[in-house]
Amino acid sequence: MSDKFVTQIMTDLPVPETPSVSFLCDVAVDVGEPIVVGDTGAGVRRVIPIVGGSVKGRINGRVLASGADFQIIRRDGVAELEALYVIETEHGLVYVKNYGLRDGPKDVLDALARGELVDPKLVYFRASPRFETAAPELQWMTKRIFVCSGARLPTQVVLRFFELL
């Protein structure tokens, strides 16, 4: 194929729209003391118990003491996050699977690891939650893509969830 032909094909294709976001909710997840499994080869494995919390926005409810954030702290300092838990809403239960990354300057990440309060603007904390529910009123959540930003506080993780439009 010639470059001219490829260029012509590319210019004739419809352009997909750029996604925008719509606020879904703020989630404040109460967490327990980290359980440090140790260096498993992939990095330091930590399990952070989820012990409660609140949900406010287009959906409202509470975070049940029902799961944990399973983390690998990689050798480059980046935390790979996999939080699994349940929220109880006015319409029913929602199972949350939230996968993300947390990164920042070494001194800031070290302060977070010590349980200190740091400015969330200094930390890249993004994730992609997925939802499962049996509640008919919430089925739409299983048919959309969501993203979130987060902040780690000494005893909480604060998340802001957005639906991609």
The tens digit of pLDDT for each residue in 43-66 reads: 999 999 999 999 999 999 999 999
How many CA atoms within 13 Å lie on the side-chain side of 33?
Answer: 2
pLDDT (average), residues 85-105: 98
The verdict on residue 60 lying in a domain is: yes
Residues 6+ apart with CB under 8 A from 10: none
> Is 95 domain-assigned?
yes
Question: Could you give the percent of the chain with pLDDT greater than 70?
Answer: 94
Is 124 contained in some domain? Answer: yes
Question: Which residue, 17, 27, 47, is CA-closest to 164?
Answer: 17
pTM: 0.89
Residue range of the domain that includes 31: 19-164
pLDDT grade, residue 113 (50/70/90)? confident
**Is residue 109, in this structure, part of any structural domain at all?**
yes
pLDDT above 90 covers what percent of the chain? 88
Q: Which residues, listed in sequence order, are joined to residue 25 by a DSSP beta bridge?
A: 57, 161
Task: Please report whether residue 11 resides in a domain.
Answer: no
pLDDT, tens only, 62-94: 999 999 999 999 999 999 999 999 999 999 999
CATH number of the domain bearing residue 29: 2.40.160.20
88 in a structural domain: yes
Number of domains in the chain: 1
Helix ranges restricted to H, 45-129: 106-113
The answer to whether residue 129 is domain-embedded is yes
